Homo-oligomer: A and B are copies of this chain.
């Protein structure tokens, strides 16, 4: 059978046209996009994708979590579906490749397969998962599809309960609907995703395709140091309980500790606020978000414990109280060995170099790890940049990735 499709290639011009149209929706004017989930731009991108699907002759499908799909039936009753896709939402002032490339490549692969009338044994579905970036809930749409969402998750979303409710309403979704998006395992044959690397490894090594072996585990906390508000002019330095000092000391020490003792791991404090937040008041509180990642489950647990211990030490050092509320958490997730091999075969057939690496970022794929075999590939990120307007991947790398995705989907789904 392989001979019938091994020379098939996606249409790079059509994919580029779609990719560029999408990149204009929520464009920040400097190459980036601002499409946080359920923002006006995000809703516009969703509407655009739906129209593209309908115009392509593929079937448009959606579910209670607002995941949008292009669907191509194999015509076999009760056949399971091979999913492939990514997400159209972005972080605030993010890049135009993160997520969008994966959706556009899956959509283009599906258009190519449809127009070539390839015989399939599985249904194919190119999916845009709602809110991968976690504006509201971590891996929102893929978690809903996998049945991992629970009503209690809706009480304390990252965006706050009020914004979450307003966002759902704006997208025509309901909390009840989110819980109904779960798909039976037997209906899902697998999940493939093409994504930009968001790091420098492929570029440094001069390799075309990264075949992902695992997605790193992830932990996060909402933390606060609590000290005392005092007049910043009349309170001597030694009389202060300055919560800002605790926050600053932890931010520095967390980086040093990770770099010294956890060489494959990362940690970040991406948001901080001092309360009450006036120039002439000693901070009574420093509120911040901590996150950290590791490719290994045991190492992740150790890193978690070490960072919390470090935070406590800094509280003690500056006479502060510490609170640490756990937020999202994911253990490291392994990719299917079979799908990794299929990706590697596709690369070899296409004459592309490939290497195996772990993903430092979380991705929708990991939501599906207990639903079906999962697989991901990366294409090189110029200068490793991501989650920023200067995020960039050369178009030929995007096309290479889309062809690997096409060929691998065909290996798995062609009849």
Contacts and interface: CB of A to CB of B under 8 A. Distances in A.
Contacts of A218: 233
A357 to B, nearest CB: 10
A279 interface: yes
Contacts of A267: 237
A282 B251 CA distance: 12
B92 A239 contact: no
Interface stretch (A5-13, A40-48, A113-121, A384-392): A384-392
Interface stretch (A18-26, A53-61, A193-201, A393-401): A193-201
Contacts of A273: 272-273
Interface stretch (A143-151, A252-260, A405-413): A252-260
A107 B98 CA distance: 65
A362 B387 CA distance: 43
A: contact size bracket:
35 or more
A29 to B, nearest CB: 16
Contacts of A331: none
A68 to B, nearest CB: 23
A234 interface: yes
A239 B282 CA distance: 33
Contacts of A359: 233-234
Nearest to A288: B274
Q: Can you tell how many copies of this chain the complex includes?
A: 2
A81 interface: no
Nearest to A358: B234
A270 B92 contact: no
A230 B270 contact: no
B249 A252 contact: yes
Interface stretch (A167-175, A240-248, A296-304, A340-348): A240-248
Interface in A267-283: 267-274, 276-283
Contacts of A269: 244, 274, 283
A334 interface: no
B268 A282 contact: yes
Interface string A283-318: 110000101010000000000000000000000000
Contacts of A237: 255, 258-259, 266-267
A234 B283 contact: no
B277 A235 contact: no
Contacts of A293: 233
Nearest to A251: B248
Nearest to A381: B234
30 contacts: A91-B281, A199-B235, A200-B235, A229-B388, A231-B361, A231-B387, A233-B293, A233-B359, A233-B360, A234-B359, A235-B266, A237-B255, A237-B266, A238-B259, A239-B384, A242-B255, A242-B268, A244-B251, A244-B272, A249-B252, A268-B280, A268-B281, A270-B280, A270-B281, A270-B283, A271-B274, A280-B291, A280-B361, A281-B387, A281-B388
Interface of A: 91-93, 98, 133-134, 158, 197-200, 216, 218, 220, 228-239, 242, 244-245, 247-249, 251-252, 255, 258-259, 266-274, 276-284, 289, 291, 293, 327, 359-362, 384-388
